Structure 1
Amino acid sequence: MTDAGDDRIVVDRLTKSFPQEGRRGERLDVLAGVSFSVRAGEFVTVIGPSGSGKSTVFNMLAGLESPDSGSIRFHGPGTGAHCAYMPQKDLLFPWRSVLDNTVLGLRVQGVPKAEARRRARELFPAFGLAGFEDARPEQLSGGMRQRAAMLRTVVQEREPLLLDEPFGALDSLTRTEMQSWLQDVWQRYRWTVLMITHDIREAVYLSDRVVVLSARPATVRHELRVDLPRPRDLSLITTPEFVALEEQLLEILHEESRRALAQQHPAAPRR
């Protein structure tokens, strides 16, 4: 894969296998040459069948795992450290105030407490959290907790942002509200974002491109460019253009899911 001039992430032919539990000497192939890139300011989403290795790729990007072969390259300012990583659960400490939760990443980096609090506090209005700086996490709604977790992530000023199912634990209405909020705040700051989701509609609504992984061992099965106008109103999801993109991804995922199921339960040989 050749690097484009404004690529922030280049994932190049990643392979990975893991030992199979209870099967000595056997390994499970998870990634079989995954390649894609993310450009500066782009919102890219990775989808794929369950078990296709999406989280494995994210763990490599975050520096938590190493590939067996292949490489990951970061380009541009602020990429000397690993990406800012937001997991699915908000992981807010219940005994800390919301403000003190949001500065944890900065404090770990060695930023003085007063400076860290100042930098985090400046973002509270944009994240819909103004007035809740001294509240405890239990006093927040699910959506507010996720916004606090994302504030904690972005205040570290590390790009790209890795969002691992950020709204997966929310109810349907709150999830829809958070999708609209994320689109608005992303357009304001133009972060470089790479997200995992199982929600096809969410992927189309938020993304510039959608990368579809195949069944395990995963390769990139398809890349879909979402050429829909921004900003995107929720009414867009009922338009023929949106529905056509959603159906295209759904068909590819169903095909890969059937292939994954066939690998797990091969047909018995005929007698």
Structure 2
Amino acid sequence: MKVDVSGLTKSFADRLVLDGISLEVSDGEFVAVIGPSGCGKSTLFNLIAGLDTPSSGSIRVGGDDPTTSSHCAYMPQKDLLFPWRTVLDNTTLGLEVQGMSKRQARERARTLFDTFGLAGFETARPSELSGGMRQRAAMLRTVVQDREVLLLDEPFGALDALTRTEMQSWLQSVWQQYRSMVLMITHDIREAVYLADRVVVLTARPARVRREFVVDLPRPRDLSALTSPEFVAIEHELIELLHEEMQQVTPSDPSAPDRGPAKRGRGPVA
């Protein structure tokens, strides 16, 4: 399984959003995508997921056109849990949309509740869950579809710092267990370095690949990795690159973000 993006461009009306992006991701890799806010990261994921078509260039997921295949499972920024459905029935939604019976879907999803830290909450409503548990449910809904590629768009962006730290460690352990290919958008540089095998840096809009970094740190990674010279060196260089890209966003540009290019702080959440 491989994701192969070649010379990808995407325009909306007369606005060029993606400008010749080329990228390869191999089976079992964890790749983080970072770049200035509004540069087109979510647009890129929509194209890889087959939710939209490129203006030019090509995308192949497992050799197939993503608009006519089903290799990807996409987790958007918000958990999008339906308040009227139980947690179990929220996690089965993707399977039901694919045509699986509710009974079969529930049986498959139940097997993952312990792994995802949700055992005992099958009949609860989303309003009864903490933010971290809601994200676990959304991730379970994504993973249970058994797709080869997981697309995660800022999965922990709305969480508080402590919960986010816990969720990062949990995601690392789940990924190591299942070894799906993961592409993750994040604005958090430290999160990207902590979790990923590679970090892809996009330029300001129109987005191009500015640079790729290989994160050659041993796994599993714990908090001690954050203070290693290798980690600090990669983090510093990424901060400098994004700072340079932010200078390309003019104040009159409607895509200009209202926050800095990356978050920094305590622990792996930065």
> Normalised by the size of structure 2, how large is the TM-score?
0.89
Cross-structure match for 2:260: none
Tell me which residue corresponds to 1:12: 6
Instruction: Tell me which of 168, 179, 182 is aligned to 2:168.
Output: 179
Corresponding position: 1:138 with 2:132: no
Q: Which amino acid aligns with 1:212?
A: V
Stretches of 4+ moved more than 6 A in 1?
A: none
Structure 1 or 2, whichever has the larger Rg, is 1
Instruction: Give the secondary structure class of the aligned counterpart of 1:147.
Output: helix
Contact 1:61 1:82 in 2 (8 A): no
SS in 2 for 1:127: coil
Instruction: Find the aligned partners of 1:125 and 1:64 in 2 and give their Cα distance.
Output: 31
How many aligned positions are there? 251
From 95, 111, 115, give the equivalent of 1:126: 115
Indicate whether 1:52 and 2:39 are aligned.
yes
Q: 2:137 aligned with 1:148, yes or no?
A: yes
Q: Secondary structure at the match of 2:155?
A: coil
CA deviation after TM superposition for structure 1 residue 82, in Å:
4.7
Paired residue type of 1:70: G
Aligned to 1:44, the other structure's residue is in SS state strand
Q: How far apart, in 1, do the equivalents of 2:52 and 2:178 lie?
A: 29
Counterpart of 1:242 in structure 2: which amino acid?
A: F
- Give the corresponding residue for 1:23: none
Answer whether contact 1:63 1:82 (CA < 8 A) is retained: no
Q: How does 1:69-218 map to 2 (within 5 A)?
A: 69-75=56-62, 80-218=69-207
1:64 aligns with 2:58: no
In the alignment, the residues of structure 1 paired with residue 35 and residue 4 of structure 2 have an alpha-carbon distance, to the nearest angstrom, of 19
How many Å apart are 1:264 and its aligned residue?
Answer: 3.9
Per the normalisation by structure 1, the TM-score is 0.89
How far off its partner does 1:76 sit? 7.1
Alpha-carbon distance between aligned partners in 2 of 1:260 and 1:64, rounded to the nearest angstrom: 27
| Offset at residue 75 of structure 1 (A) | 1.2
Percent of residue pairs identical: 71
* Structure 2: runs of 5 or more not aligned: 255-270
Aligned to 1:38: 25
Encode CA deviations 1:223-269: one digit per residue, 9 max, x unaligned: 0000000000022112222111100111010001112238849xxxx
Distance 1:41 1:33 in 2: 25
Q: Distance in 1 between matches of 2:253 and 2:77?
A: 27
